[in-house]
Amino acid sequence: MQKGTSIAGGLLLGFAFDRIFGDPRRAHPVAGFGSLAAAVESATYADRRVAGLVHEAVTVGAVIGLGIAARSGGVAATAVATWTVLGGRSLARTGRGMADRLVEGDMAGARALLPALCGRDPAVLDAAGLTRAALESIAENTSDAAVAPLVWGAVAGIPGLLGYRAINTLDAMVGYRNERYLRFGWAAARTDDLANLLPARLTGLLTAVLAPLIGGSPAAALRAWRRQAASHPSPNAGVVEASMAGALGVRLGGRTQYPHGLELRPPLGEGPAPTVADLRRAVRLSEAVQLTAALLAAAFAARTR
C-alpha cells in the first residue's frame, strides 16, 4: 500500500502538472487505452450483458493491475498518473475557446470545438444551444475529468487513479442506449454510475460553497440540487448540472440532440437561458472547484494512512 504522504504529494504535483502543461500532447495514455479497449471489444462483443461484464472486468482489471505494479514508484509515479488522468486545464481552455468563438460569431468554429466537450450533434445547434451544451458539459466534466480522479486517487492511490479513468473511458465508448450497446454497454454504464456517486456529490457541494466567487448563491445551488437533480436521467450528472445552474442563476435542460437520437432533458435551475458570460463564469467556478478538490484529496490521503 502506498504511504499517505506519497499519495498526497503526488496528487498535488500531478495537479500542478495539469494546470501548467495540460493533457500530454503526444501518445496520451488514455487514447492508448481506448485503442486497446476497442481491440478487446472485437473479441468480447456479444449482444448480452454478461459479455459486457467480461469486457469491463478484463479491460479495467488490466489497468488496475498496472496501477498496483506502479505503486512502488512513489511520489513521482503518482504525480505522472495524476497528470495522465486529469483533464481540468483542457476542460477550462476548451470552455473559454467556445465562449470566444461565440462572442466572435464564429459558429463554424464553435461547432467544430463542441465535440471536445460532449457527444451532442453540433450541426443542429444555434448559438444558444451551443452555449447550453458547453455549460452543461463544463459542469459534468468538472466532476468526471477532475474531481473524480482526485477522489479515487486519495482513496486508492495509483490503482484508483488509473482504474477510475479506465471506467470512465469505457462508459464513453460503450455506455450508450443504442442498438449495439444497450446490453453490452450496461456494465460499463452502471460501473461508471457507481464510481461517480461520491465525486459528483462532492462536486455539487463544492459548487454551492464556492458559488459566491462568481457572484452566485450557495442556497440557490443547493435548492436546485435538492429539487431537480433527481429528474435527470443520470444520477450523477443531474447533481452537478443542477448545482451549477443554481449557482449561476440560469436554467439548463431541454431538447438535447445526440447522434443516437433526441432526448428531452428536464429543467435544472431557475432563471433565463445561459449566456456566453454565464459560460465564462462556469469555467471560473469549475477551476475553483478543481483546486479545492485537489487540496481536500491531498489532505484526506495524508491523514488516513
Residues 250-304: tens digit of each pLDDT: 999 987 766 666 677 889 999 999 999 999 999 999 999 999 999 999 999 998 8
**pLDDT (average), residues 87-101:** 97
Longest CA–CA span in the chain (Å) reads 53
Q: What is the pLDDT, as a whole number, of residue 254?
A: 82
Torsion of CA 231, 234, 239, 240, to 10 degrees: -130
SS3 236: coil
pLDDT of 283: 98
Give the per-residue pLDDT at 186.
97
Q: Is 90 exceeded by the pLDDT of residue 30?
A: no
Supply 116's cell numbers: 471536445
Q: Is the pLDDT of residue 125 over 70?
A: yes
| Residue 157 falls in which region: left (phi positive, over 0), alpha (psi -120 to 50) or beta | left
Report how far apart, in Å, the C-alpha atoms of 94 and of each of 91, 193, 282 are: 5, 25, 12
Task: Answer yes or no: is pLDDT of 305 > 70.
Answer: no
**Is the distance from CB of 167 to CB of 178 less than 8 angstroms?**
no
Least confident of 44-58, 111-125, 156-170, 229-243: 111-125
Mean pLDDT of 231-245: 96
pLDDT confidence of residue 64: 97
Write the DSSP string, 23-83. S-SSS-HHHHHHHHHHHHHHHH--SSHHHHHHHHHHHHHHHHHHHHHHGGGHHHHHHHHHH
pLDDT at 2 over 90: no
Contact 192, 167 (CB under 8 A): yes
Q: Classify burial at 16, counting beta carbons within 10 Å of its beta carbon; exposed 0-12, middle 13-18, buried 19 or more.
A: middle
Is 70 exceeded by the pLDDT of residue 27? no
The chain-wide mean pLDDT, for the chain, equals: 94
> pLDDT band at residue 1, thresholds of 50, 70 and 90?
low
Whole-prediction pTM value? Answer: 0.94
Q: Are residues 206 and 295 in contact, defined by beta-carbon separation less than 8 angstroms? A: no
Share of the chain above pLDDT 90, in %: 83
pLDDT above 70 for 201:
yes
Averaged pLDDT, 159-168: 97
Residue 32: per-residue pLDDT:
87
